[in-house]
C-alpha cells in the first residue's frame, strides 16, 4: 500500500472510531443515548474523546505559549535531575519548568475565579437593580439572610434614634448591601470584606502570609500581568498571587454570588425531586435549562407555572411543560424549586439525542458548542441568552436576557419551546432511568437538621464527629471529564467515604452524579453507610450525601466548615477539622480555583484524572507538601477512586488523632455481614 493510501486509511479509521458506551459511562441511560447517537451517526463528546488524544506535554503543565517565541515545550527528561533541571530545561526566554507550570496553574485559577466572580458580579448588579426597585421581576425575598450578611459587608442593621438602637428600614439595608457588594470587585483601597468571615485564626494566617485579597478583579488582572513574559519568574511568588485570587473567588465572588442569590431567590431548604434523563416527558413540552446563573432560570420557572402558559402548551397538544436542568443551573433551580435534574455536564448532548427536547436554553459556562450541531439534527431550538456567550452556528437563536424585562424575555423563551412541540420530527427515545432525591441543603438547613433550632449551632454535628459516629466531612465536588468513565470516579469515591462514616457535602456535577445513583435519599444511608453515619442519618432523617448546590455554592462548604470551628471542640481553624476535599472527575479552570481556595482555607484536597503539575516535580512538591506547612491544607492527585477516598480518610484520621478524638472508636470497614446485621 502506498504511503498516501496508508494516510487516507488511517484518517478513515480514525473518523469511524467511536466510543464504547459501557466504557464511556456507568450510567445505563447515558449508555443507551450514546448508542442511539451512534446509530444516528451523530458524534458526542464520548466519541470525540476516543478520537482525540490529549497532548502529554500540555497535560503535565510544561507547555508555555505566553509569547510569540513559543510554544516552548519543556518535556520532562527520563533522567530528570532536580539539581540541574533549572539550567538544562528552559524556554527560549529561559523560563524554567517550575515557572512555566506555576504560570499555567495560576492562569487556570484566574480563569476559574473570573468565571465565578463575573457570575457573582452579574448577580450583584441584578441585586442592586432590585434594591433600587428598577425591576418588578426581582425582589428581596429572604430578609433574614439579608440581615445575616449585612454586618459582613459593614452595613448596619440598626440605627440610633433618641438614644436607642432601632431596626433600620429593610429597603435601605438592601440598597447599601448591594452597593457595598458591587464595590468588592473593584474598590481602590482596603481588603476583601468577606475574608473576615473565615475563622479568626485563618484570617490572621492569611494576613501574616500577605494573601488577603485587595479586591476581586485586581487579583485576577494581576495574575495576567505576572504571567506575561518576563515578569514573575519565581514559582513561589506566582503561587502567592494564585492564592490571593483563589481566596477572592471562594470567599469573595462565589460567596457573594451564593449570598445574594439566596437573598433574591430564597435560601434553599430540603425538598424532593428526581434526577437523570428519565425526567423528560414525551407528552410534555420539554424545556431544558443549562448553564450557571439562576437570574434567567428563576424567571423561566415563574413563567412556566403561569396558568395561561400551561394552557397555551395544552392548546398545542402537550399535557404540560416539563422543565429540567443540566449542570449548575440545574442545581440552582433544583435547590429552590425542586425542578428535576436532567443530567450532568457530559449528558448535555445526550438530552437532545432523546428527540424530546423542544428547547434548550443556555446562559454561561460549561456549554458545549456541539449542542448546536446536535440540536440541528433534531427539531430542538437552542437558545443563547447571554451577551458574553453566543455561538457561531446559524441554527442558534439568541434572545438576549435583561433583568429590566426579565419576565418578558422568559415568556418569549417558554413560548418558543411550546411552539416547537409540534415540530418533533424523529422518533422520541427517552431512557426510563430516573432516581428520587432530597436536595437543598444550605449552611442553615444543615444547622437545623444536625444542630436543632434551639441550639442554633453545629454543636450536634461536632458532637457526632467527636464521638466518632461521623468520622469526618468530605467535600466532594466538581465536573465530569470525557477522559475518564462518566460518573465512575464520583460514585466510587463517595460510596467509599460514606461506607467509612464520612458524611459528604456535594455540589456541581458530583451532586448530579450522586443524585442519579440514588445517594441523595435518607434510605441510601442504610444501604451504603458505615453504622455510625447510618445511625445519624436515620435519627435525623437526612441523606448521607448532602446536596449543597452549584459550583459557586462551594462557598457553602467553606462556611459550614467555619460553623464547625465556631461550634467548638474541633480546633481553632478549618485545618484542625477532620475534613477533606475532592474533585474526582474535574475538568474546568473553575475546579482548579475551587481546589486552591479549599487548600489555602486549610483543606487537604485530592483531584482525580490528572493535574497539570506533574511535569515540574519541584513545583508539584511545593503544592503537595510545602503548602501543608504554610496553610495546613495541600493538593494531592489520585486517579484510583478507592485509593483517592482512602487518602481522604487517612487525612481525616490524622486530624482526629491530632485532636485526641481518634480513640473514640476504631475504624470500621463494613463487609456484607455487617451490612446485613445493620439491616436486620
Q: Which residues bind ligand MSK (CB under 6 A)?
A: 292, 327-328, 345, 366, 478-479, 508-509, 550-551, 588, 590
Q: Is the Cβ of residue 229 or residue 271 nearer to ligand SF4 in the bound state?
A: 229
Number of residues that bind ligand SF4 (CB under 6 A): 14
Among 26, 45, 89, 91, indicate the residue that binds ligand SF4 (CB under 6 A): 91
CB of 503 to ligand MSK, least distance (A): 20
CB of 108 to ligand MSK, least distance (A): 12
Decide if residue 92 touches ligand SF4 (CB under 6 A). Answer: yes
Site residues (CB under 6 A) for ligand SF4, limited to 515-574 = none
Q: Is the Cβ of residue 108 or residue 594 nearer to ligand SF4 in the bound state?
A: 108
CB of 101 to ligand SF4, least distance (A): 11
Let me know the angle formed at the C-alpha of 56 by 50 and 59, rounded to the nearest 5 degrees: 95
**Cβ pair 397, 383 in contact under 8 A:** yes
CB of 275 to ligand MSK, least distance (A): 14
CB of 57 to ligand SF4, least distance (A): 12
From the list ligand SF4, ligand MSK, none, partner contacted by residue 327 (C-beta under 5 to 8 A by kind)? ligand MSK
Cis peptide before 310 (omega within 30 of 0): no
Decide if residue 65 touches ligand SF4 (CB under 6 A). Answer: yes
Q: What are phi and psi of 396, to 5 degrees?
A: -85, 130
CA-atom Rg of the chain in angstroms: 25
Site residues (CB under 6 A) for ligand SF4, limited to 104-123 = none
From the list ligand MSK, ligand SF4, none, partner contacted by residue 70 (C-beta under 5 to 8 A by kind)? ligand SF4
The alpha carbon dihedral of 261, 262, 263, 265 has a sign of positive
Q: What is the DSSP annotation of 347-405?
A: GHHHHHHTS--SEEEE-SSS--THHHHHHHTSS-EEEE-BTTB----TTEEE----GGG
Tell me the pairing of strands 271-275 and 435-439. Answer: antiparallel
Of 174, 375, 173, 293, the C-alpha closest to 550 is 293
Q: b or e along 349-360 (b: 16 or more beta carbons within 10 Å of the residue's beta carbon)?
A: bbbbbbbbbbbb
Decide if residue 166 touches ligand SF4 (CB under 6 A). Answer: no
CB of 227 to ligand SF4, least distance (A): 9
From the list ligand MSK, ligand SF4, none, partner contacted by residue 588 (C-beta under 5 to 8 A by kind)? ligand MSK
From the list ligand MSK, ligand SF4, none, partner contacted by residue 551 (C-beta under 5 to 8 A by kind)? ligand MSK
CB of 641 to ligand MSK, least distance (A): 17
| Residues 6+ positions from 332 with CB-CB distance below 8 Å | 261, 292, 293, 294, 297, 298, 325, 549, 550
Site residues (CB under 6 A) for ligand SF4, limited to 207-236 = 229
> Angle formed by the axes of helices 254-265 and 554-567, to 10°?
90
Q: Which residue has the cell 429540567?
A: 324
CB of 233 to ligand SF4, least distance (A): 10
From the list ligand MSK, ligand SF4, none, partner contacted by residue 64 (C-beta under 5 to 8 A by kind)? ligand SF4
Q: What are phi and psi of 277, to 5 degrees?
A: -55, -25
CB of 65 to ligand MSK, least distance (A): 24
Task: Tell me the C-alpha distance between 261 and 402, whole Å.
Answer: 16
SS3 call for 340: coil
Tell me the pairing of strands 72-73 and 63-64. Answer: antiparallel
Among 28, 58, 70, 338, indicate the residue that binds ligand SF4 (CB under 6 A): 70
Q: Is the Cβ of residue 511 or residue 600 nearer to ligand MSK in the bound state?
A: 511
**Cβ pair 209, 601 in contact under 8 A:** no
From the list ligand MSK, ligand SF4, none, partner contacted by residue 639 (C-beta under 5 to 8 A by kind)? none
CB of 34 to ligand MSK, least distance (A): 18
DSSP class of residue 96 equals B
From the list ligand MSK, ligand SF4, none, partner contacted by residue 91 (C-beta under 5 to 8 A by kind)? ligand SF4
Task: Tell me the C-alpha distance between 105 and 622, whole Å.
Answer: 13
From the list ligand SF4, ligand MSK, none, partner contacted by residue 95 (C-beta under 5 to 8 A by kind)? ligand SF4
In the complex, which residues of this chain contact ligand SF4 (CB under 6 A)?
64-67, 69-72, 91-93, 95, 100, 229
Amino acid at each position: 500500500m502506498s504511503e498516501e493510501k496508508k494516510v487516507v486509511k488511517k484518517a478513515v479509521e480514525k473518523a469511524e472510531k467511536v466510543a464504547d458506551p459501557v466504557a464511556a459511562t456507568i450510567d445505563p441511560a447515558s449508555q443507551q443515548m450514546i448508542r442511539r447517537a451512534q446509530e444516528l451517526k451523530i458524534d458526542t463528546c464520548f466519541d470525540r474523546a476516543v478520537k482525540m488524544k490529549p497532548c502529554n506535554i500540555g497535560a503535565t503543565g510544561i507547555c508555555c505559549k505566553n509569547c510569540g517565541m513559543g510554544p516552548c515545550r519543556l518535556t520532562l527528561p527520563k533522567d530528570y535531575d532536580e539539581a540541574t533541571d533549572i539550567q538544562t530545561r528552559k524556554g527560549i526566554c529561559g523560563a524554567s519548568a517550575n515557572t512555566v507550570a506555576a504560570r499555567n496553574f495560576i492562569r487556570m485559577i484566574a480563569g476559574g475565579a473570573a468565571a465565578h466572580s463575573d457570575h457573582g458580579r452579574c448577580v450583584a448588579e441584578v441585586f442592586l437593580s432590585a434594591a433600587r426597585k428598577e425591576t418588578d421581576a426581582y425582589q428581596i425575598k429572604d430578609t433574614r439572610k439579608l440581615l445575616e450578611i449585612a454586618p459582613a459587608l459593614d452595613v448596619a442593621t440598626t440605627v440610633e434614634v433618641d438614644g436607642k438602637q432601632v431596626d433600620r428600614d429593610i429597603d435601605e439595608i438592601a440598597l447599601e448591601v448591594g452597593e457595598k457588594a458591587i464595590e468588592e470587585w473593584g474598590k481602590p483601597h482596603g481588603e476583601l470584606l468577606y475574608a473576615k468571615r473565615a475563622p479568626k485564626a485563618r484570617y490572621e494566617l492569611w494576613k501574616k502570609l500577605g494573601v488577603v485579597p485587595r479586591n476581586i478583579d485586581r487579583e485576577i488582572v494581576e495574575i495576567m500581568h505576572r504571567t506575561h513574559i518576563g515578569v514573575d519568574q519565581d514559582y513561589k511568588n506566582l503561587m502567592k498571587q494564585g492564592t490571593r485570587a483563589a481566596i477572592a473567588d471562594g470567599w469573595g465572588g462565589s460567596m457573594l454570588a451564593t449570598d445574594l442569590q439566596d437573598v433574591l431567590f430564597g435560601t434553599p431548604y430540603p425538598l424532593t425531586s428526581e434526577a437523570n434523563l428519565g425526567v423528560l416527558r414525551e407528552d410534555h413540552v420539554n424545556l431544558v435549562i443549562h448553564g450557571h446563573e439562576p437570574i434567567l432560570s428563576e424567571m423561566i420557572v415563574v413563567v412556566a407555572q403561569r396558568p395561561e402558559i400551561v394552557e397555551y402548551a395544552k392548546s398545542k397538544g402537550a399535557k404540560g411543560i416539563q422543565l429540567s436542568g443540566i449542570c449548575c443551573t440545574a442545581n440552582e433551580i433544583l435547590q429552590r424549586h425542586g425542578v428535576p435534574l436532567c443530567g450532568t455536564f457530559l449528558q448535555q448532548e445526550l438530552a437532545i439525542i432523546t428527540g424530546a427536547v423542544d428547547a434548550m436554553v443556555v446562559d454561561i459556562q460549561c456549554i458545549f458548542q456541539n449542542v448546536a450541531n446536535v440540536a440541528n439534527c433534531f427539531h430542538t431550538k437552542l437558545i443563547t441568552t447571554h451577551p458574553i456567550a453566543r455561538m457561531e452556528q446559524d441554527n442558534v437563536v439568541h434572545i438576549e436576557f435583561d433583568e429590566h424585562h426579565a419576565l418578558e424575555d422568559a415568556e418569549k423563551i417558554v413560548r418558543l419551546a411550546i411552539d416547537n412541540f409540534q415540530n418533533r420530527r424523529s422518533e422520541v427515545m427517552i431512557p426510563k432511568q430516573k432516581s428520587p432525591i432530597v436536595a437543598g441543603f444550605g449552611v442553615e438547613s444543615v444547622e437545623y437538621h444536625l444542630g436543632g433550632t434551639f441550639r442554633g449551632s453545629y454543636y450536634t454535628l461536632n458532637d457526632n464527629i467527636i464521638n466518632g459516629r461521623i468520622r469526618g466531612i468530605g467535600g466532594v465536588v466538581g465536573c465530569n471529564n470525557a477522559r475518564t468513565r462518566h460518573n465512575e470516579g464520583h460514585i466510587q469515591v463517595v460510596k467509599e467515604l460514606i461506607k467509612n462514616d464520612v458524611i459528604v457535602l456535594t455540589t456541581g456535577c458530583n451532586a448530579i452524579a450522586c443524585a442519579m445513583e440514588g445517594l441523595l435519599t435518607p434510605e441510601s444511608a442504610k444501604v451504603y453507610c458505615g453504622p455510625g453515619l447510618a445511625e445519624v442519618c436515620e435519627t435525623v432523617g437526612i441523606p448521607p450525601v448532602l446536596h449543597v448546590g452549584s459550583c459557586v455554592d462551594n462557598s457553602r462548604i467553606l462556611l459550614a466548615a467555619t460553623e464547625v470551628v465556631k461550634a467548638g471542640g474541633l480546633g481553632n481553624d478549618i485545618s484542625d477539622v477532620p475534613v477533606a476535599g475532592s474533585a474526582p472527575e474535574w475538568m474546568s479552570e473553575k475546579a482548579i480555583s475551587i481546589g486552591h481556595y479549599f487548600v489555602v482555607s486549610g483543606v487537604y484536597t485530592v483531584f482525580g484524572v490528572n493535574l497539570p503539575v506533574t511535569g515540574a516535580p519541584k513545583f508539584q512538591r511545593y503544592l503537595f507538601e510545602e503548602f501543608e506547612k504554610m496553610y495546613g491544607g495541600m493538593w494531592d492527585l489520585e486517579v484510583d477512586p478507592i485509593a483517592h477516598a482512602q487518602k481522604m480518610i487517612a487525612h481525616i484520621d490524622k486530624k482526629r488523632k491530632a485532636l485526641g478524638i481518634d480513640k473514640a472508636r476504631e475504624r470500621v470497614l463494613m463487609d456484607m455481614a455487617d451490612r446485613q446485621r445493620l439491616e436486620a
